[in-house]
Each structure stands twice: as C-alpha cells, then as structure tokens.
C-alpha cells in the first residue's frame, strides 16, 4: 500500500513513560532510520554508477535471511528500444534487488516490532491500522518481490524502494524527536509535504510490481487463484492510494496549515504576539489607575 500515514508505531508515546522504555523506543527509531538511510544511499549510488561492493550490513542481512530467501537467477531486459542513457538507468534499476534486496527485507521486517509496540500500549498508534500498514509492506517484500522473478527483476522495485526509503528517512527521526521532546520544523514540513510525490511513486510502483507477476496471456488460460487475487489487489490499490492521499492532505492542513511552506506556525506566532500586546496593554491600564 502507499507509504504509511501518521498512525505508525513510535509516532507518539503515552505520557510519563519509564525512562528505559523511552530510551528503547528512541533507539528503535534511530536504528530504523539509519537502516533506511543506508538503503537510500546505496540505491542512489547503484542507480548512478552501477553495482557496488556489498557493505557489511548487506552481507550480514544476506546471511541472516539466507534460509528465508529463495535462490534465483536474476533476469533483466536489455531495454534496447529506449535511448541508451535511459536504458542504462533501467538496467541498473532492474538489478536493484540483486544488490540490496536482503537489506530492504531485513530493515522492513523490523517494522513487525511496531505492531508489538502498539499492542503493548507503548505508543498510542491503533493496533489494526499499524498492523495493516506493516502487513502491506511485508506483503510487497515477502509475498511479491522475494517470491516472483518478474518482480525482483523489475525496475519498479527500485522506484518502490526509493519512495519507501525517503519516507522512512523522514518518519523515524520525526518520531525520535517527538520521544525526546524535541521538534524540528524541517522534519515536520517534510513529513507532511513529501507525500505529494512519494505516495504516487510508492503506491504506483507497488501496483506495477503486483501486475508484473500476472500471466502474460488473458484469463482464464494459465490463470490460477493466486493470479485472480493479485489482479484484485492491483485493482483496489489505486482507490486505496486516493483514500490515503486525501487523508494525508487533511492531516497536512491540520499539522502545518495551507500553502507550500504551511502557514499554521505563522498564524500561531501572530496570535501569540497579539496576546502579548494585549496583556501588556492591560498591565499598563492597571498601573495607570
């Protein structure tokens, strides 16, 4: 499904948390943040200059998940029908999973803990919403990308991971700051603005990856129950994007107001200044009596 909305685990925590619990939640968000930043940086380098030597986190995640990830031969298209620079970019995008698929699977699977956090009441996120959001991501990783060669060798995988990694590189430090009682206007703006691009990019890529696993011929020849289920998912993915997109637009208005940069803070400051002026005027009147 589209990148996650406000109701994720770690987004807001109950008041008066024990220090150890708050420290754990901060550490969890920071570890997740660094994982997604590593994914983002590796992806950008891969798309820019091609495959790189695997870093230690990639090697580690490959070893940890080796028993769960199927052995496969990665097949990619030559993209000879498009201009060479675009063709080279598409070829690199098609080999993204070969280079960092294990790290994506590892870091995304850590999000299971977010459901646990919500279920234990450590954060105020609703359990059903958090579970659905995490499950949709895990479905794309383990039910689609890791299972079907057509998806693992698709350039849509790279654009999906790009949208996910940018989203999470903002979301996790935003939550960590909230747990530490800090607030960053830059992170707040990014949290409620970048979705305009990242939602269509992420959800569209997810839908196209699901579509890539369908049989090439029209039904019913070669179609099984799984194919019809995936076709239904592909169909409902788009209205799901619309619902999440409009929901985030409403959340943005509440969080930062209208306009590209948001005007809520400016209005709040103006109101605070007005109250200060009024209070000063009342104090002057009292002294003059």
Reported as a single tens digit per residue, the pLDDT across 60-89 is 999 999 999 887 767 777 888 899 999 999
Q: What is the mean pLDDT of residues 107-111?
A: 97
- Candidates 232, 230, 229, 228; CA nearest to 220 is 228
Counting residues of the chain whose pLDDT is more than 70, the rounded percentage is 87
Q: What are phi and psi of 8, to 5 degrees?
A: -95, 160
How many H helices and E strands in the chain?
Answer: 12, 0
- Terminal-to-terminal C-alpha distance of the chain: 66
Answer yes or no: is pLDDT of 233 > 80.
yes
pLDDT for res 267: 64
| Residues in contact with 221: Cβ distance below 8 Å, sequence separation at least 6, in sequence order | 215
Active-site residue among 16, 199, 245, 275? 199
pTM, 2 dp: 0.87
Closest to 214 (Cα-Cα) out of 150, 153, 161, 142 = 150
| Annotated active-site residue in 206, 245, 268, 271 | 206
Whose CA is closest to 199, among 163, 166, 235, 175?
A: 163
Check if 228 is active-site.
no
Compute the distance between CA of residue 173 and CA of residue 11 in angstroms, rounded to an integer. Answer: 10
**Mean pLDDT rounded to a whole number for the chain:** 89
199 is catalytic: yes
Segment 115-126 shows an average pLDDT of 94
pLDDT score for 10? 46
How confident is the model over 15-66, as pLDDT tens digits? 578 999 999 999 999 999 999 999 999 999 999 999 889 999 999 999 999 9
């Amino acid at each position: 499904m589209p990148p996650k909305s406000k109701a994720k685990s770690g987004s807001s925590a109950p008041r008066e948390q024990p220090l150890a619990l708050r420290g754990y939640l901060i550490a969890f968000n920071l570890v997740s943040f660094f994982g997604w930043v590593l994914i983002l940086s590796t992806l950008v380098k891969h798309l820019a200059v091609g495959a790189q030597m695997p870093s230690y986190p990639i090697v580690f995640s490959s070893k940890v998940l080796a028993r769960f990830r199927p052995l496969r031969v990665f097949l990619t298209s030559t993209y000879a029908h498009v201009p060479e620079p675009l063709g080279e970019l598409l070829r690199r995008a098609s080999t993204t999973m070969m280079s960092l698929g294990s790290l994506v699977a590892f870091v995304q699977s850590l999000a299971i803990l977010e459901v646990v956090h919500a279920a234990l009441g450590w954060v105020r996120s609703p359990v059903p919403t958090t579970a659905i959001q995490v499950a949709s991501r895990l479905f794309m990783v383990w039910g689609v990308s890791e299972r079907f060669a057509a998806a693992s060798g698709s350039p849509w995988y790279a654009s999906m991971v790009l949208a996910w990694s940018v989203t999470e590189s903002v979301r996790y430090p935003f939550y960590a700051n909230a747990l530490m009682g800090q607030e960053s206007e830059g992170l707040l703006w990014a949290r409620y603005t970048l979705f305009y691009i990242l939602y269509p990019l992420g959800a569209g890529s997810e839908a196209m990856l699901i579509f890539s696993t369908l049989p090439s011929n029209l039904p019913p020849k070669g179609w099984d129950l799984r194919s019809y289920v995936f076709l239904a998912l592909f169909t409902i993915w788009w209205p799901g994007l619309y619902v999440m997109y409009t929901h985030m637009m409403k959340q943005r208005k509440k969080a930062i107001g209208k306009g590209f940069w948001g005007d809520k803070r400016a209005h709040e400051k103006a109101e605070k200044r007005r109250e200060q002026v009024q209070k000063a005027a009342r104090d002057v009147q009292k002294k003059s009596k």
